[in-house]
Amino acid sequence: MLNLWLYQGIDIALALGLCLLLLLIIRDSRVRWLIQGLMLILVAAFISKELGLRLLHGVLEKMVLGGIVVIGISFQLELRRFLEKLGRGELLSLFQVAPNPSTKMNSIVDQLVEAVKELSQNRTGALIVLETNSPISRRVVLGTGVSLNADVSKELIQTIFQKKTLLHDGAMVIKNGRIASAGTILPLSGRTAPSQYGTRHRAAMGITEQVEDALCIVVSEETGSISLAENGILNRFITTTALKETLEARLTEGQKDTAENWGLGKFFSQGFTVGLQQKFNGLKQIKLKRWLHLPSSTSKDKK
């Protein structure tokens, strides 16, 4: 009986350790929330099995399998990169602390605001959607446009919205700090809008009505005015300074690392992994000194 409880304890500890390891490795906050939900279902399935609740245990097992399939389909690129690094033996690179997300996002905001400023001065119409916490599903948009997966730069944004290009009529969609697509057709708002609202303004209201937390920037082709839509509400005639402050506040908030909210997670992801890397580098230096027959500091102290 004691051995059975011991084996079960080791089994649970290894399973939870593997899940915590995945949470430390994965950078995307949306994947982390999915894995945390999956962990809760796993714990509930184990408890239901121990209590003899067979029907509940069967339902929870099916939910676990469904959750694994959803994660595998939705984040296949991230899983492929993880498996590639694992196969190459690059385990330490998985624990490297990522650069501050707010610094990267501020740079993206600067590029975006500069592009919007020049588009406004030239009275070039533009429609830019920014995904934050809630993903923009293909079911929401009427046309997916052309997939780009490009870095956010003011030159590229200005080029896309020039009147002579084929993609200037649709919307640009920015996901995870990258330009995901251009020429995307957005749904129009069903609510009555003032007569001065054009198609771009109604599309900005429509996409923010259907996608929670999404932001949409509109540059009017007639007046050059800048508008920002959120939750179906269109704020017109905003300045570039106000636009920059709003984007920095909203986007950096959405890009915060979930591990920073955990004292234990932050300790493991920064302190523990850095210590492992330092020890690994120290071992490499010792081996190099032995191979070159260089005297070490310990041998000098003995003399």
| pLDDT tens string 261-287 | 444 444 444 444 445 445 445 544 444
Does residue 189 lie in a domain region?
yes
Q: Which of 94, 111, 139 is the last residue of a domain?
A: 94
Task: Compute the distance between CA of residue 179 and CA of residue 157 in angstroms, rounded to an integer.
Answer: 9
Q: Which of 46, 77, 94 is the last residue of a domain?
A: 94
142 and 73 inside one domain: no
Whether pLDDT at 127 is above 90 = yes
pLDDT-derived band at 2 (thresholds 50, 70, 90) equals: low
Buried b (16+ CB within 10 A) or exposed e, 38-61: bbebbebbbebeeeeeeeebeebe
38 and 136 inside one domain: no
182 and 43 inside one domain: no
The more confident residue out of 133 and 229 is 229
Does residue 280 lie in a domain region?
no
| pLDDT tens-digit readout, 18-55 | 767 666 666 555 666 777 788 888 888 888 888 889 89
Whether pLDDT at 201 is above 90 = yes
Does residue 220 lie in a domain region?
yes
Mean pLDDT of 78-85: 70
106 and 232 inside one domain: yes
Confidence at residue 287, expressed as pLDDT on a 0 to 100 scale: 46
The more confident residue out of 181 and 17 is 181
Confidence at residue 249, expressed as pLDDT on a 0 to 100 scale: 87
Mean pLDDT of 169-174: 94
28 and 120 inside one domain: no
Q: What residues make up the domain containing 209?
A: 101-254
Number of domains in the chain: 2
Does residue 296 lie in a domain region?
no
- Count of alpha carbons within 13 angstroms of residue 176, beta-carbon side: 12
| pLDDT tens-digit readout, 221-264 | 999 999 999 999 999 999 999 999 999 888 876 555 433 444 44
Confidence at residue 101, expressed as pLDDT on a 0 to 100 scale: 54
The more confident residue out of 64 and 101 is 64
The more confident residue out of 78 and 212 is 212
Confidence at residue 162, expressed as pLDDT on a 0 to 100 scale: 95
pLDDT above 70: percentage of residues in the chain = 70
Mean pLDDT of 169-185: 93
Write down the pTM of the prediction: 0.60
Rounded to the nearest integer, the mean pLDDT of the chain is 78
The more confident residue out of 302 and 215 is 215
Q: Which of 94, 120, 136 is the last residue of a domain?
A: 94
Whether pLDDT at 191 is above 90 = no
Strands 215-219 and 146-151: unpaired
The more confident residue out of 263 and 114 is 114
Whether pLDDT at 138 is above 60 = yes
Residue 105: other Cβ atoms inside 10 A? 21
